[in-house]
Structure 1
Amino acid sequence: MAEEHGIRDSLSWLIGSTSKTEFFESYHEQRALHCGHGDAARFAELLGIGRIDEIISSTDLKPASLSMARSQPPIKRSNYTFSNGNIDRGAVIRHFQCGATIILNQLHLADARLARFCRSLEDLLSCRVQSNVYLTPPGSQGFGTHYDDHDVFIVQVSGAKKWRLYERPVDNPYSGEGFKAGVHDPGKLEQEFLLQAGDCLYIPRGLMHDASSHGDEPSLHITTGLIVRKWADLMLEAVSEVALRNPKFRRSLPAGFARPDFDEESLEEQFRELAKEFAEQADFSEVLSFFRASFVRERRPELQGALVDASLPVSNADLYERRPSLQVLLRHDDSEVVIVCPGGNIHFEKEALPGLQAFLAGEPFSKADFSDLEEEKRTETIRRLSAFGLVRRVSQ
């Protein structure tokens, strides 16, 4: 099938005067970038302490949605949970008063603004983006020196934190190759600075760091994590794809290969031969297409307003537009058109292709763009696009 796709840009809000080209060439997966924007309210629209208060006091707090941390003295989960594992909200507030950091895990799954923020970054970076929120009381430190196994953007919403950056004991650690106290030495202190409200800090995975709140007010920041697919993931998928077509890769290792008297030289010869065949037979385009489609399908759809729109008629004058930060792929052949979108695939008749291309282009469109379809099918096509969160009605 022929394939078309489109993405939107959203990175500049975080990195400001640093160009995207400079970021990817000089910082991404290499070194930290401190972006001092000089605008305390820059990220205030994303979140505030009032919203944190509302979540803790009034929402259904799942046990995994909240945790607490304090460098010294450490805090145990049992200190702020009941015996059944549920969150003790009063204990959370009390331990915050005593210097513990409140952590709201994966808040983008429950907060619409953070969800849109993460979705906009996913659109540009082609990786899963998550957000954990940290509220640290004045003069406190949540964690000791450590590194993360994924890249992060620290978005300072309010208050301030003093950050200390050290060396990288592991260069781009693999997922799950986490920090181990006593094993990974932070090395020498490389940078120390104050992250003020409205500033942003990029930290590549593997870089040792720690931070403590500064000043008389609590520090509120969002750790935006980039969960990426790596070259190793792509290569493993490519090997699997070759193995489906080449039975040599599905044969067992020779009997007795683990014995000390086994002929290792002959085993290596077979290995080198298979590696050569893999290089000749690996289909990069097929594997990349699979990765693209998998990434898009795994995204969460944006459905806000879809239920309201479902109760309204679709007239010839109504205009619709592609939702912002929507990641989709459009594939088509002589028999049908398929839109790969968050949640799965949607199939359409081949006559819908011109209208779907107009939708993909991002400009407002109407039933008239589906002129190759019968009237009833034009309406049904737009309703399907709306129901699955791909389009929204344009206000007139």
Structure 2
Amino acid sequence: MKKLKKKSQAGKPKPKVEPESKRGKKLGDKSTKVVKVKNTPAKSVGVKLNKTPLLEVSPDTPSVSGILSKKGKAKKRKISNETDEVSPKSVVVKGKKPDKKKSARSFSLLNDSLDLASTSTLRNMPSSTPAKLDLDSSDDDDDVMESVNSYKAEMESSRIHSAKRKRQTKRVDSAKKRALDAEGSEVMGKNALQRLLDPINVDTFMKDYWEKRVLHVPASDPTKFSNLLSTEMMDKALRNEILCFGRDLDVTTYTDGEKQNHNVEGSRAQAHVVWDFYANGCSIRLLHPHTHSKQLMIVMSALQEYFGCLVGANSYLTPPSSQGFAPHYDDIEAFILQLEGRKRWRVYKPRSKHEVLPRFSSPNFSEADLSDPPVFDAILSPGDLLYFPRGYIHQAHTVHNEHSLHVTISAYQKTSWLDLMDKLVPSALKTAAANDVDFRRGLPIGYLRQAGVFTKHVPTERKALIHTAKQLVAKLVNYIDIDSAVDELGVQFMHDALPPVLTPAEAACSVIGNGWRMESNGKLKNKIEFPPTTRVRLTRANCYRLVQEDVVGPEGGSTTQVSLYYTVDNSSLYHGEEPNFLVVDADLLLTLRALVNAYPQFTTISDLPYDTEDKMYGLICDLWDHGLLVTETPSQPIDNQASIVIPDASRGSKTGPKGDNGGNALNGSLVEGSLPSTDDEEDVDYEEDVDDEEDLDEEEDDVDDEEDDVDDEDDEEGVLHTVENLDDDLRELLCDDGSDIDEEEMEALNNLDIEDLLDSSLEDAEEEEDEEEEEEED
């Protein structure tokens, strides 16, 4: 009996493939059933004072308890001030954190951590404090004041960056604990497009501008797109990554009506060499810039969910007073996002009806080819957006003394009705030939003399030939299979598409951020299982395609097979990986179709229909293992002290090409294969819809208040737990017959009030932190 299995298919997916291409690891037959998890409360373990004291006592501590009184602490501070030394704290006790002042926060499109996960500004934050101010470096008063002002600015910038990092960490931690919204990824993609077009409504744009005319959206904020890419980020990519001429970037010029390419073919694009070209007036086109900008990757991945087709991008850096490319039109819908500098754009309507919405890009035009005046002629500034349909001729030139950097986001290449008909008609002909004898009848005798461009023919015979052909074309409509044709386009999209980028909340509910983890001591932790009450759904609307296709059997016969193609393991480079798919057994279709039809709603596992219960649970595990399934809330580990477990033999050996379940790790496209680290903000990326800055601030305040409440509760519980443990340890110590404590010490311990000591320590710690914060503000 067939079971769910996976395989990568080279080249373009076709309805028929050789039997060798369908061999792969068998999946979906896991014998391990999903069981209900019993919640076992953790046992409290008392802390032994003679082994691991909770309170760290300094050598100078005069008290047996290790807690300084306020008077003693004041005296120590005074001594520290006189000796100009910092005295170590005598006690380390967890107490309530003092309230921190919230720094001001700005909101701009794609530039807020609760929006589309932009963290480029966080990446470029100074990680260390500004250099110490040296007032003796200059004797001039103006220089001194300039140094002072510069130092103040650096200090203020460092303070703001630090506050942003803390606020970002809080949001990520909060996002990991929340349940996922029952909102489809198509809505997420539409919201992403809305942010780009704002204040133009998406529905208005699709009705009045899409594939019809040019749209210019002036910037409401010049930093609107600044986090997507910058010249500094380009320099960093050139120095830290292996970029090659021709493959990753192009160097071009356009002078005197002639475009020239200056690539050093086959060579690495060293930063010095590229910038030397730029200094000599060359334009730099960076291909697939989203591989160097996580923020741009997030935006494109979201737009892909809305458009349902490949979304690509190129970036263009042009020196002042120059032009890099000749006038031309493209075969894509173009969104120009101006990032830096200014550039004059001239856009022209298609010259004839044959160039309206073309399937292929044009050759380069000369100025003589542009007889009509442009329909758009204006200068784009940072934050501006310009849209024009495919077939619109365009050219751009930088202004005097200003460079320009922009990103072109493209969509709907080869996604027209003609592309659908290209799949539909051959399929209809194949079906008609199998079911209608009229399509198999022979052509009339002498048909070669009845038609032809240069053939002399008899009009009556030619007319009869045309009449019969039209009749057959009319009958062909009855054999159109629109479902199979759309599935073919869907399978092609699965190969073309970018991998989905999960938010931290989604990653925490998926195999990317949950499940087994290896500790430094070689032990595994975080074992999870799915109780029948677990609520699940497929990861994204457009990250999979379930199709039925014909394959060639082992003995040459044709058989029908159900395959699940998916994009989760795709490369961020176009066709960087072979197509990935799973072969679905017939008795799994009932469960899988229920998941497909339920999206974006979550479904309880026990409510899913199935033919065989064991196989249904195996399917859930397979989808989870491949990143195609998320839970509504993060699954809680059932045994964090587990040792290494040898997998059951029924799970099968994990072998196969890169990208399948053959023991290979995922390719890092999903937030780099792990939850964003709260210690390293470079990995923090997620997106949520927020209407405006006021709502965003209110949500932030609510999150901060909730976290403060949680911290307070944890602190109170921690103090009570500490008191109980200390009391237990003291009792054990007093009852120890082998103890060396004399009678006086025993009496002192009996009279010791641990709760009062801890309260005093907490108050001292809070006062000291408050004083330190006041000193920092001064």
TM-score of the superposed pair, with normalisation by structure 1:
0.81
In the alignment, what sits opposite 2:544?
Answer: 328
Tell me the number of residue pairs that the alignment of Structure 1 and Structure 2 aligns: 385
Which residue identity does 1:385 align to in structure 2? L
Which residue identity does 1:71 align to in structure 2? Y
What pairs with 1:195-344 in structure 2 (closer than 5 Å)?
195-214=380-399, 216-226=401-411, 227-247=413-433, 254-255=447-448, 257-258=451-452, 260-263=455-458, 264-296=462-494, 298-302=496-500, 309=514, 311-312=516-517, 313-316=527-530, 323=539, 326-329=542-545, 339-342=564-567, 343-344=579-580
- CA 1:368–1:91 in 2, change beyond 3 Å: closer, same or farther? same
What pairs with 1:154-233 in structure 2 (closer than 5 Å)?
154-170=336-352, 171-181=355-365, 184-185=369-370, 187-214=372-399, 216-226=401-411, 227-233=413-419
Cα distance in 2 for residues equivalent to 1:285 and 1:375: 31
Deviation at 1:16, TM superposition (A): 1.0
Describe the SS at the equivalent of 2:305. helix
What pairs with 1:1-396 in structure 2 (closer than 5 Å)?
7-8=186-187, 9=190, 10-62=192-244, 63-72=246-255, 76-77=260-261, 79-81=262-264, 84-87=266-269, 89-108=271-290, 111-170=293-352, 171-181=355-365, 184-185=369-370, 187-214=372-399, 216-226=401-411, 227-247=413-433, 254-255=447-448, 257-258=451-452, 260-263=455-458, 264-296=462-494, 298-302=496-500, 309=514, 311-312=516-517, 313-316=527-530, 323=539, 326-329=542-545, 339-342=564-567, 343-346=579-582, 347=584, 349-350=588-589, 352-353=591-592, 356=595, 360-361=599-600, 363=602, 378=617, 381-391=619-629
Describe the SS at the equivalent of 1:24. helix
Which residue identity does 1:281 align to in structure 2? Y
Deviation digits for residues 320-342 of structure 1 (CA, Å, limit 9, x no counterpart): 7754674435679xxx9975432
- CA 1:382–1:130 in 2, change beyond 3 Å: closer, same or farther? same
- Greater CA deviation, 344-353 or 141-150? 344-353
Which residue identity does 2:194 align to in structure 1? S
Cα distance in 1 for residues equivalent to 2:357 and 2:441: 32
Which residue identity does 2:186 align to in structure 1? I
Cα distance in 2 for residues equivalent to 1:286 and 1:320: 28
Cα distance in 1 for residues equivalent to 2:295 and 2:317: 18
| Equivalent residues of 2:338, 2:385 under 8 A apart | yes
- Greater CA deviation, 105-114 or 46-55? 105-114
Which residue identity does 1:43 align to in structure 2? F
| Equivalent residues of 1:149, 1:172 under 8 A apart | no
Deviation at 1:249, TM superposition (A): 5.5
Higher relative contact order (CA 8 A, sep 6+): 2
Structure 1 stretches lacking a partner, 5+ long: none
Deviation digits for residues 136-176 of structure 1 (CA, Å, limit 9, x no counterpart): 12222222322222220001122222212223214434322
Cα distance in 1 for residues equivalent to 2:613 and 2:369: 66
Which residue identity does 1:214 align to in structure 2? V
- CA 1:277–1:48 in 2, change beyond 3 Å: closer, same or farther? same
| Equivalent residues of 2:500, 2:543 under 8 A apart | no
TM-score of the superposed pair, with normalisation by structure 2:
0.44
Deviation at 1:194, TM superposition (A): 2.0
| Equivalent residues of 1:6, 1:327 under 8 A apart | no
Deviation digits for residues 328-387 of structure 1 (CA, Å, limit 9, x no counterpart): 35679xxx9975432444437356449835983255x78667697868974x54553344
| Equivalent residues of 2:309, 2:497 under 8 A apart | no
Q: Which protein has the bigger helix share?
A: 2
Q: Which protein has the bigger strand share?
A: 1
| Equivalent residues of 1:155, 1:222 under 8 A apart | yes
Moved over 6 A (4+): 250-253, 317-321, 365-373
Cα distance in 2 for residues equivalent to 1:358 and 1:277: 33
- CA 1:140–1:252 in 2, change beyond 3 Å: closer, same or farther? farther
**Bigger radius of gyration, 1 or 2?**
2
| Equivalent residues of 1:166, 1:186 under 8 A apart | no
| Equivalent residues of 1:161, 1:195 under 8 A apart | yes
Which residue identity does 1:141 align to in structure 2? Q
Structure 2 stretches lacking a partner, 5+ long: 1-183, 518-526, 549-560, 568-578, 637-778
Cα distance in 1 for residues equivalent to 2:215 and 2:408: 14
| Equivalent residues of 2:334, 2:410 under 8 A apart | yes
Describe the SS at the equivalent of 2:300. helix
